[in-house]
Amino acid sequence: MTTSLKKSHIHRTVLDNGIVLLLTENPTADIIAARIFIRAGSCYENREQAGLAYLLSAVLTKGCEGLSSLQIAEQVESIGANLSADTAADYFQLSLKTVTADFVDILTLAAKILRSPTFPEAEVELERRIALQDIRSQKEHPFTVAFDQLRQVMYQDHPYAMSALGNESTMSRITRADLVQFHQTYFRPDNLVISIAGRLTLDDAVAVVEKVFGDWQPPAKPLPTLNLPNLTVQPECVIIPQQTQQSIVMLGYMATAVNSPDYAALKLLSTYLGNGLSSRLFVELREKRGLAYEVSAFYPTRLFPATFVVYMGTAPENTQIALSGLQAEVDLLYTSPLTEVALQAAKNKILGQYALGKQTNGQLAQIYGWYEILGLGIEFDQKFQELITNVNAEDAMTVASRYLQKPYVSLVGQEAAVKDAVI
């Protein structure tokens, strides 16, 4: 066992079997939260198996060696604990929360589920049917339709092109054997980060994790290499006529990954443009011009190049003017520098929200484990705040010019309105 880093109340320890253990000591509440991260999100699926990681997350807690779905639920609920699995593009996670006295028991149960799931055929079929219903339901939501087609045209053969659910075709093809194979490939101790926050000392945390996971040895076979296609930026416009009461107008720009020097400036620009009622898009396009039912921007944190998206829901007759209005607001980012007042307000907003996102043990376990699984390290917590603080108006303008000049466009709405908007 080697301990490689201690950052104030946060400890990072690597166990002999390769598990990275993070502990955030927080003695103020008698609650312990943990997040177990695995490098096995939807990016690690084959294109033909899109939705595999999602389906695995839905059935992982529905049976393990010696325990049925009902018995697992009873064990968790009998002590008032929480235990759930989820997947994202870049990782898979198992989340748990309990009072300190029951932590060993719930972590032991989580280990059984993680190491020896049974994937009962009946549960697989049930969760597949639910996923297929969700996929069909999403086709009725114009925003989801617009975002799905935007992703597909931007990412092409890259896994980011697909929803975590996959589509009806891929979800229907996934078998129990596929789940077993994916689990055997990626669920291994040297591909695991366990992040714990709560009333626990480092010695106690190491002792518990070694007791529960210490006999789990990594297989001799190395982890598969993730070979992703190169992305080429060729902006285009895609439309889907749909009989809706509003048009969804969406612009997407191929931006960059979290480890890029430009990440902080893009995050700040996204906050300035579309985060909250005081954001530029909300004030200019909704409050002043009355164009938008909803308007916002987002730029997710990703291990690989992420999309910078601005979008608006508007009346069909305003589709064309909404499109030009969104484009004009983004163009201003690289043609006119932000004022010091606007820049500082965006910094205050993003840093304030960041601080508020680290209040509970669950949030603390999440953020440090997330940084670790993305390869950023727990020191990124402080680094991120420094990066945001150091962005100046010239930096923001340069980065906007680099990434935000030529958008992909996705339109969903009444046929005449969306077609006329791009003529």
Residue 159 and residue 280 share a domain:
no
The DSSP result for 68-106, as a single string, is: EHHHHHHHHHTTT-EEEEEE-SS-EEEEEEEEGGGHHHH
The CATH number assigned to the domain holding 322 equals 3.30.830.10
Query: Which of 326, 340, 338 has the alpha carbon at shortest distance from 399?
Result: 338
3-state secondary structure of 186: helix
Residue 242 and residue 109 share a domain:
no
In a domain, 220, yes or no: no
In a domain, 377, yes or no: yes
Residue 258 and residue 201 share a domain:
no
Half-sphere exposure of 66 (CA within 13 A, CB side): 7
Cβ neighbours for 338, distance < 8 A, ≥ 6 positions apart? 272, 346, 393, 396, 397
| 399 alpha-carbon distance from chain centroid | 23
Q: What is the pLDDT of residue 227?
A: 86
CA distances from residue 398 to 56, 262, 326 in whole angstroms, order as listed: 42, 9, 20
Cβ neighbours for 246, distance < 8 A, ≥ 6 positions apart? 142, 293, 313, 314, 315, 316, 413
Task: Give kind and range of the element (H or E) at residue 150.
Answer: helix 142-155
Residue 241 and residue 183 share a domain:
no
Asked if 329 contacts 285 with a C-beta cutoff of 8 angstroms, the reply is yes
In a domain, 325, yes or no: yes
- Final residue in a domain of this structure, among 213, 228, 263: 213
Distance in angstroms (rounded) separating the CA atoms of residues 83 and 73? 9
Residue 251 and residue 190 share a domain:
no
- Final residue in a domain of this structure, among 178, 213, 248: 213
Residue 246 and residue 178 share a domain:
no
Distance in angstroms (rounded) separating the CA atoms of residues 423 and 417? 10
Residue 336 and residue 195 share a domain:
no
3-state secondary structure of 332: helix
Only one residue has tokens 């990954």, namely 257
Cβ neighbours for 230, distance < 8 A, ≥ 6 positions apart? none
Tens of pLDDT along the chain (423 residues) come to 444 455 567 999 999 999 999 999 998 889 999 999 999 999 999 889 999 999 999 999 999 999 999 999 999 999 999 999 999 999 999 999 999 999 999 999 999 999 999 999 999 999 999 999 999 999 999 999 999 999 999 999 999 999 999 999 999 999 999 999 999 999 999 999 999 999 999 999 999 999 999 999 999 999 998 889 889 989 999 998 988 889 999 999 999 999 999 999 999 999 999 998 889 999 999 989 988 889 999 999 999 999 999 999 999 999 999 999 999 999 999 999 999 999 999 999 999 999 999 999 999 999 999 999 999 999 999 999 999 999 999 999 999 999 999 999 999 999 999 998 886
Q: Domain tally for the chain?
A: 2
Q: What is the DSSP letter of 254?
A: E
Residue 167 and residue 19 share a domain:
yes
In a domain, 97, yes or no: yes
In a domain, 167, yes or no: yes
Residue 296 and residue 207 share a domain:
no
Q: What is the pLDDT of residue 27?
A: 87
Residues of the domain holding 314: 237-421
Other CB atoms within a 10 A radius of the CB of residue 344 amount to 11
Residue 70 and residue 21 share a domain:
yes
Residue 251 and residue 160 share a domain:
no
In a domain, 292, yes or no: yes
In a domain, 218, yes or no: no
Residue 245 and residue 367 share a domain:
yes
